[in-house]
Every structure is written in C-alpha cells, then in structure tokens.
C-alpha cells in the first residue's frame, strides 16, 4: 500500500511518541469522516478508525517534483540548525509518496540524513536514544538497497517501525522539550 512509506512512518513514530492526539486530531478525524475522505492513520488503517494521528492521503508526483520536495526538506532541516525540535518541525511536513525506486532512494537518503541530524542535535540526557536513532538511520540506505528501493518492500524493513525507534524519538522530543512536529 503506497500510503505506508518511510516519511509517514517517521512522522507517525514522532507524533505518537509525544502522544499528540488532542483536539486537532479529533477534529481532523471528524472532518474526514464527514467528507468521506480516506486517510492513512498512525495505526496503518484508514480514516474513521480510532487513532491518535490522522495523515493526509498519499500523493505521488513526477521525479522532478519529488526531487524539489526533497531539496526543500533538506534546506529546511539545514536551516533548523542544532535544535532537535526545529529539526523535527522542519521535517514534519507532508511529502509525496515515492512512486518508484529512484524516488524511494531519495526519500530513504533524506530520512537517514534528517535522523542523523536529529541524533547529533539531541540533548546529552537523550544520548542512548540518539544512538538508537543514529543506528537506525545509518542502516536504512543499505536495507532499502537490499530490496532494490522498491517502495512497497521498503515499508516492511525493520527499524523505523520498531517500538525502540518510536520510543527513542519520543525520548529525544521529551528531553529537548519539543511539542509535536507541525511542519513548515
């Protein structure tokens, strides 16, 4: 299912880790139920199910447009400096779903870079969590290459979906006193 791709996984982990499910999420779910829109949720289901996070429906774009999105994410994350909250915020925007291996490779690489930057900028009290995030990030490109950057197969790789990774993101956010990522 194309709606389950890596950037969504990172966002789900980071959003779920801080327990954001307040009024905005409930309103989004209600709005989606009313409009009949189908959305992917943090639990991997579709809109209308009980979940703490509702994501917009995935979209695919041509390769050139995908590259522009990746470049924009890189620029925003670089501009965030060494503040882990700003790194997550810069990364926390919607992005198109990779439609092919080339786009998946770009997505995997940008996610790995963002996660390393997040780990590097984490507070000292989150050092163990930062190492978990760093290790996951550094393994992603090789794992994705092992399945030919197939958008469907990349979603089944261990790491981003592990409870340890989600907990590590949450630990970093808590130690840095971050709220939920809002995008930009």
pLDDT per position as a tens digit, 92-139: 766 788 999 999 999 999 999 999 999 999 999 999 999 999 999 999
| pLDDT tier for residue 32 given thresholds of 50, 70 and 90 | very low
Please determine, for residue 82, whether its predicted confidence score (pLDDT) is greater than 60: yes
The whole-number pLDDT of residue 160 equals: 79
Identify the domain containing residue 28 by its residue range. 6-175
Higher pLDDT, 77 or 180: 77
Q: What is the b/e burial string over 71-103, where b = at least 16 CB atoms within 10 angstroms of the residue's CB?
A: eebbebbeebeeebbbbbbbbbbebbbbbebeb
| pLDDT tier for residue 167 given thresholds of 50, 70 and 90 | very high
In a domain, 158, yes or no: yes
In a domain, 135, yes or no: yes
Instruction: Look at the chain and report how many structural domains it folds into.
Output: 1
The whole-number pLDDT of residue 88 equals: 87
In a domain, 181, yes or no: no
| pLDDT tier for residue 155 given thresholds of 50, 70 and 90 | confident
In a domain, 53, yes or no: yes
CB burial of residue 180 (10 Å; 0-12, 13-18, 19+): buried
């Amino acid at each position: 299912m194309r709606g389950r791709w890596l950037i969504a996984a990172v966002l789900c982990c980071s959003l779920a880790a801080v327990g954001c499910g307040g009024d905005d999420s409930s309103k989004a779910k209600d709005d989606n139920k009313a409009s009949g829109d189908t959305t992917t949720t943090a639990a991997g289901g579709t809109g209308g199910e009980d979940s703490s996070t509702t994501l917009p429906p995935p979209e695919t774009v041509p390769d050139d447009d995908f590259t522009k999105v990746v470049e924009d994410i890189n620029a925003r994350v670089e501009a965030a400096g060494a503040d882990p909250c700003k790194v997550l915020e810069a990364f926390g925007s919607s992005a198109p779903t990779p439609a092919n291996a080339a786009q998946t490779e770009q997505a995997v690489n940008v996610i790995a870079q963002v996660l390393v930057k997040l780990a590097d900028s984490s507070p000292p009290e989150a050092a163990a969590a930062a190492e978990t995030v760093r290790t996951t990030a550094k393994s992603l490109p090789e794992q994705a290459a092992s399945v030919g950057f197939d958008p469907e197969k990349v979603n089944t790789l261990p790491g981003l979906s592990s409870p340890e990774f989600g907990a590590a993101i949450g630990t970093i956010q808590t130690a840095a006193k971050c709220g939920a990522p809002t995008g930009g």
